Structure 1
Amino acid sequence: MTEQPGIVIAGASGRMGQMLIRTVGESGRARLAACIERPGHGWIGRDAGEAMGAAPLGVRVGDDVAAALDGAHAVIDFTAPPASVALAQAAAQAGVVHVIGTTGFDKVQLDAIAEAARRVPVIRAGNMSLGVNLLVQLTRQVAAALDEDFDIEVVEAHHRHKVDAPSGTALMLGEAAAEGRGVELGAVADRGRDGITGARARGHIGFAAIRGGDVVGEHDVIFAGAGERIVLRHVATDRAIFARGALKAALWGQGRAPGEYTMLDVLGL
C-alpha cells in the first residue's frame, strides 16, 4: 500500500493549527508527520493530542524545523509573516510542498517566498475555502461588467484576535475587482477614511474592517450605483473549511513543478 503523505503543521497551538491537526487526522488521506511551535512554547515536548486536550496522537510538538520537515511531504502554515518566510526557506531546502494561509506580508517577504517557490511548489492564498474562491471569480466578472458608475466597497469582519487589516481575503477580493476593471489595486485602493475626507473618488475601491468577538470571517463586495446595489457575500461559520482547503492544497501540490500557486489553481478555477 502506498504511504499516505506526511503533513507537518506549523503553529500547532493556534486556532488554525489545532483545527489542521484534527483535519489531517480525520481525513483518511494523509498522516500527521510532525507539529512545530516556536522555541520556548509550552507545548514543546508534549504529545500534540494531549496538548489539545484530546487523546494522544503519538506526535510530539517540536521546535526543530529541519527535523520536522525531514521525510515529510508538505507543511501547512498559518503563522505570521516572519515565521512563514523562514519556513519557506526551510521547506525549499527540504524539498517539501509549502501551503501558506498566513496573511499580512510586505513586498520584501513576498519576494522571499517567490524565491523559495523556484525550488518547490508554494501554494499561498488569503483564504483556502471553496466559497471564497468562487466569490473572487464572481467579483472579477461583475467588476468587468460594470463601469465606474458603480462604486466598489469591500467590507470584512473577523474575530478580535486578528492582527492584520484589511484581511488577506479582502485584499484578494480587491485585487479581483481591480483586475476586472483593468487597473492596479495600489492605484485605486482606499484603505482608511477618517475626518473630513471629501467626496468619494470615482473608480476607487474602498475597504472597511470590523473586529470583534469570535467572528470566523465575513466578506461583502458591494457594487453601489445610482438607485441600486449588488452585494456579493460569503460568511464562514466554521474554521474547518479553511483547514480542509489547506489539506486539499497540500495533497494537490504533490508532484507539481516548483512555482507559486493559489487556491484557484488547486480548485481548477
Structure 2
Amino acid sequence: MPDEVPATGGPALGVVGRGRLGSALLAACRAGGTRVSLTASRRDGWQVDAVPDVLVDASAPEAHADVLAYCTAHRVPLVACVSNLTDAQWTSLEELATVVPVVRATNLSFAHYVQLRIAEFTAALTRGPLGPTTTTVRERHPIGKAHRPSATALVLAQTWAGASGRTVADIADERAGLPVSEHELTHTWNGESLHVRHHVGSWAVPARGALTAAGWARTAAPGLVTMRTVYDDLTARSTP
C-alpha cells in the first residue's frame, strides 16, 4: 500500500515506478514527511488510498497509457520523468497538458539547469571577435542506460545551438562507471578550452528535483513545460 507519513502541507504524491528513481523518490518522501497516496509498479499494480495532488511517472514507456488514463480521468497534474517515449506518447502528453499541468522532466537536477544557463552565457560571449568556439558534448552513464545519446546530452546540444547559432561538433556517449551520470560541455578556441561538467552521484538528487517539480505543478496552470520553466520560475521568485 502507499507509504503513510505525516502530512507537511505539500502535495500528496502518486509515484509510478519502483526503479532507481521511484525508490529514491519514495525514500525522499518518507524522510521529508511527504504523503504518498498512490503507488504503482509492474509487480504490485496500482495501490491507491486517495487521488494524489500530483502524479510522478518514474516508470517506463509501457506504463504510459495507464498513467495518461489516470491523470485524464482524475485531472491530476503530471511530472513525466520517462525520457524514452515514442513520438505518439509525447503527442499524448501534449493533449493531456490542455487540461492539467504536465512537466516534461527528462533531467530533474537544478545543477543541470545551471549548466544550461552557463551554456547560454558562454554562447553570448563567444559570438564576437574573440570567438567562435568549437563545442562538444560528452555524456557518461553506467552500463545498462536505455538509450544513447541521453536526452540530457541532446538538450545540451540543442541549447547551445539555439543560443549560439552553431551546432556542436560532436556528442560522445560512454557507458561505464558508477551511478548516476556525467554531462560535460567543452568549448575550445585559440589554444584554450573551457569544460563545464555536471556530475550526479546519487539518485537522491533527481528525487529532490521531482519533489520540486511536483510542488510547482500542484498550483500551475494547464500546459506542457520542461524543468527549465520550473526552475526559471522558482529562481525568479527568489531574486530580490
TM over 0.5: yes
For 2:23 and 2:146, locate their aligned partners in 1 and report how far apart those are by CA, in whole Å.
19
**Pair 233,25 (structure 1): closer, same or farther in 2 beyond 3 Å:** same
For 1:85 and 1:123, locate their aligned partners in 2 and report how far apart those are by CA, in whole Å.
17
Q: Secondary structure at the match of 1:257?
A: coil
Query: Partner of 1:132 in structure 2?
Result: 112
Q: Secondary structure at the match of 2:146?
A: coil
Report if the CA contact (8 A) 1:143-1:177 is conserved: yes
Query: Partner of 2:185 in structure 1?
Result: 221
Query: Partner of 2:58 in structure 1?
Result: 78
Report if the CA contact (8 A) 2:56-2:214 is conserved: yes
**Pair 121,222 (structure 1): closer, same or farther in 2 beyond 3 Å:** same
* Deviation, structure 1 residue 105: 3.0
Report if the CA contact (8 A) 2:38-2:50 is conserved: no
Query: Which residue of the other structure, out of 130, 152, 165, is the alignment partner of 1:169?
Result: 152
**Pair 85,212 (structure 1): closer, same or farther in 2 beyond 3 Å:** farther
For 1:19 and 1:119, locate their aligned partners in 2 and report how far apart those are by CA, in whole Å.
29
Query: Partner of 1:179 in structure 2?
Result: 162
Structure 2 unmatched runs, 5+:
1-6, 236-240
Query: Partner of 2:212 in structure 1?
Result: 248
Report if the CA contact (8 A) 1:84-1:100 is conserved: no
Q: Secondary structure at the match of 1:235?
A: strand
Q: Secondary structure at the match of 1:252?
A: helix
Query: Which residue of the other structure, out of 134, 137, 142, is the alignment partner of 1:159?
Result: 142
Question: Which amino acid is 1:220 matched to?
Answer: E
Query: Which residue of the other structure, out of 92, 116, 120, is the alignment partner of 2:96?
Result: 116
For 1:69 and 1:91, locate their aligned partners in 2 and report how far apart those are by CA, in whole Å.
16
Query: Which residue of the other structure, out of 31, 38, 41, is the alignment partner of 2:35?
Result: 31
For 2:41 and 2:202, locate their aligned partners in 1 and report how far apart those are by CA, in whole Å.
24
* Deviation, structure 1 residue 247: 0.7
* Percent identical: 29
Q: Secondary structure at the match of 1:131?
A: helix
Aligned residues: 224
For 1:126 and 1:142, locate their aligned partners in 2 and report how far apart those are by CA, in whole Å.
23
Query: Which residue of the other structure, out of 5, 9, 13, is the alignment partner of 2:11?
Result: 5
Q: Mark the structure with the bigger radius of gyration.
A: 1
Alignment partner of 1:264 is 2:208: no
For 1:119 and 1:89, locate their aligned partners in 2 and report how far apart those are by CA, in whole Å.
13
Q: Deviations over 1:105-134 (max 9, x none)?
A: 343322111111111111112211111111
Q: Deviations over 1:185-225 (max 9, x none)?
A: xxxxxxxxxxxxxxxxxx44421111124331111001122
For 2:143 and 2:216, locate their aligned partners in 1 and report how far apart those are by CA, in whole Å.
32
**Pair 82,112 (structure 1): closer, same or farther in 2 beyond 3 Å:** farther
Report if the CA contact (8 A) 1:103-1:164 is conserved: no
Question: Which amino acid is 1:129 matched to?
Answer: S
Query: Which residue of the other structure, out of 234, 237, 243, is the alignment partner of 2:198?
Result: 234
Query: Partner of 1:54 in structure 2?
Result: none
Alignment partner of 1:18 is 2:1: no
For 1:176 and 1:133, locate their aligned partners in 2 and report how far apart those are by CA, in whole Å.
11
* Deviation, structure 1 residue 70: 5.2
Query: Partner of 2:238 in structure 1?
Result: none
Report if the CA contact (8 A) 1:85-1:112 is conserved: no
Q: Deviations over 1:160-208 (max 9, x none)?
A: 121111112111211210110246xxxxxxxxxxxxxxxxxxx444211
For 1:259 and 1:95, locate their aligned partners in 2 and report how far apart those are by CA, in whole Å.
13
